[in-house]
Structure 1
Amino acid sequence: MINKIGVLTSGGDAPGMNAAIRGVTRYAIEKGLEVTGIIRGYEGLLSHEIMPLNRRSVGAIIHRGGTMLRTARCLEFLEEETQKKAADYIREQEMDALVVIGGDGSMRGAQALSRLGIPTIVIPGTIDNDMGGTEYTVGFDTAVNTVLESVNKIRDTAFSHDRVAVIEVMGRHAGFIALYAGMAAGAEAVLVPEHEVSLEDLCTHLNESHRMKKMSSIVIVAEGAAKGADVVDYIKGHTYLEPTLTVLGYVQRGGSPSAKDAIMASLFAEKAIDSLLAGTYNCVIGQIGERIVATPYTEAERLHFPLDENMYRLVLALGR
């Protein structure tokens, strides 16, 4: 029987994490549970940094970026002895289950604890939108809108000076941010890790567009597809066009969550608590189709949702 839960955020921060903490805390209390917040993720379990959470302690955070519980990457947690120490501390604090908010690495940590007998459940929080077991991760929509706002401003300068604006965005292993922002911004091209990058083809595409009297272009590059600086150098060396580079960096992780991210974080939190109370744990909460579901870790690892290939082709078709 579950009477007390712990909640932590781990890995890279994402807009909407605070909304998820708020949702977990207040819905758990509504269901009669006690809630403990763990500071700085798995590292906090090892350094024994915890705090009780109540309705007031999570007030006025739904609109804030980052995470009030802080976050950290804990390489120590890869070691089995370290995991056992964390599991022992969870038992010592009489936590009956642990809710983890984070990405793939955070889920692996939750899996390790589950193998040691600690019931865990993961709420997907990462701007990259690349976790198994869900089509949507908290933080993705905000990141796309942050990129879109920046691209729209950069386009003004590109148009004024007849330039090609190359914009490097996050996405080491997945190109969701680049693709969705490119589609929304009307980019001429997007480069994503899921497709082999041909800078020769990119230059051909840009030259064709400019022959059709398009005097400026936007190229969005996911960091895992190519380095923005390499793209700029290649365009300079193989066309008459004038490229510029903007690397957006950590600005994509910050800021207030969009309405969609705040809502999804709250709905995922509700599902997480309901699942734990129903005896369904060692799962990742996710959206599949129109449903919010709890998928066992082993199944989630095999359940990945690829980039929308039609959207990828459409960006190129509409970008000339």
Structure 2
Amino acid sequence: MHNKSAKPIKRIALLTSGGDAPGMNAAIRSVVLAAHHYHIEVIGFYHGYNGLVCEEYIGMAESLSLIKVNGIIHFGGTILKSARCPLMLEEKGLKLAAETLDANTIDALVVIGGDGSFSGLLALKQYWSGQMIGIPGTIDNDLDGTDYTIGFATAVNTGIEAIDKIRDTADAFERIFIVELMGRHCGHITFNVGIACAAEQVLSFENFNANEQSLKLQHLAAEISAAKKNRHSSYIIVIAENLWPGGAAELAKQLHLQADIECTPCILGHIQRGGSPIAKDRILATKMGVAAVQALIEGKSTVMVAEQNNAMHCIPLAKAIKHKKLVSKQLIDAQQNILALTAQTQC
């Protein structure tokens, strides 16, 4: 959305919100450097939206200098800290946020985060007239309109490294492992990691029907049994979090009770959110930070900066959070029709 009446930007508020993602610091650095180029001051607010609405955090805001962001591009986490902020779901919190921004003479607000963070921006629009830009920072890669989100590539790489190590142990003992990956309610991480690690099974929202859980369990048990008869080696099942009721541990329990199949569950959890961002995330974050500042200068507001086919675009925030972005059909087809079959027939 373009705001033709937008006044010149002199001061930007910047915060990171929701789940952290590798590359957030790179995005912070990029926003500060780009703003400095245009003689714009950046005020960093700590602990997400809490820095705007909670008394214990409001005084922690500070001007982000070039020195402050020097040498942070390779750090995981976020120097501005992050948090959930339930108060932003209430009118009281939104009004407090608007008052804090006005009190600090903020012209524009840039938020690095995911769909919950962007929903906060949309709600704040009712009470604050400044410009707003979202930078997609989430390992889940579940925001519409952008090919990738900051942190996704590193999370996939972390998952690959972990499962490669698990594979060594699984091979040594000829064991079956069920590895649970993050991603909330989509399978971008699960499918990418599963295929890159040559997992024998990939279970995600895109190929699992909760109403057919019992049938899926029988089918899975049959495939594991057949594979173990044909060879003497490991068997890796990659599963998306929030998919199977009770998670990887419950799936392992059910396979043991119903088919006498011994499995070792392994939940990677928050290890996927930490660590130094790989080159792809550092570069993406840098491009998005610059694009966010340029979008503000052009008078744009209530949009998310996005990358599509290596070009930067601005996507309406309301469109970005609709959750219609699907895992590549080619990935799903490759796993179901070719790779899984190959894994079963290898000896």
- What's the TM-score once normalised by structure 2's chain length? 0.89
CA offsets, 1:202-259, max 9 Å, x none? 2222223223325311111111211001111122234454311111111111100010
How many residues are paired up? 320
What is the 5 A alignment of 1:25-36? Answer: 25-36=32-43
Q: State the AA in 2 paired with 1:83.
A: L
Equivalent residues in 2 for 1:91-240 (5 A)? 91-116=102-127, 117-194=129-206, 195-196=208-209, 198-213=216-231, 215-226=233-244, 227-240=247-260
- The AA in structure 2 aligned to 1:101 is I
Partners of 1:219 and 1:6 lie apart in 2 by: 44
Partners of 2:321 and 2:239 lie apart in 1 by 27
- The residue number in structure 1 matching 2:276 is 256
* One-letter code aligned to 1:118: G
Matches within 5 A, 1:218-297: 218-226=236-244, 227-297=247-317
Question: For the structure 1 residues 184 and 94, does the alpha-carbon distance in structure 2 shift closer, same or farther, using more than 3 Å as the test?
Answer: same
SS in 2 for 1:7: strand
Conservation of the 8 A alpha-carbon contact between 1:96 and 1:118: yes
Three-state SS of the structure 1 residue aligned to 2:239 is strand
1:50 matched residue in structure 2: 61
**Counterpart residue identity of residue 17, structure 1:** M
SS in 1 for 2:39: coil
CA deviation map 1:175-203 (0-9, x unaligned):
11111000100000111123325222222
Q: Which runs of 4+ in 1 moved over 4 A?
A: none
Mapped pair 1:23 → 2:30: yes
CA contact (8 A) 1:135 1:305 kept: no
For the 8 Å contact 2:142–2:323, the answer to whether it is kept is no
Q: Distance in 2 between matches of 1:78 and 1:240?
A: 47
Corresponding residue for 1:318?
A: 339
CA RMSD of aligned residues (A): 1.5
Deviation at 1:272, TM superposition (A): 0.5
Q: Work out the CA distance in 2 between the residues paired with 1:237 and 1:181.
A: 28
Provide the C-alpha distance between the structure 2 equivalents of 1:161 and 1:303, rounded to a whole number of angstroms: 41
2:122–2:317 Cα contact (<8 Å) kept: yes
**Alpha-carbon offset, residue 19 of structure 1:** 0.4
Distance 2:233 2:254 in 1: 19
Between the aligned partners of 1:207 and 1:141, the Cα distance in structure 2 is 34
In structure 1, what residue type is equivalent to 2:41? Answer: E
Deviates more, 1:107-116 or 1:56-65: 107-116
Tell me, yes or no, if the aligned pair for 1:133 and 1:301 is still in contact at 8 Å. no
SS of match in other structure, 1:224: coil
Is the CA contact 1:132–1:304 (under 8 Å) kept in the aligned structure 2? Answer: yes
Unaligned runs of 5+ in 1: none
Cα deviation digits, residues 88-133 of structure 1 (max 9, x gap): 2101111100000001110011112223223110001111111133
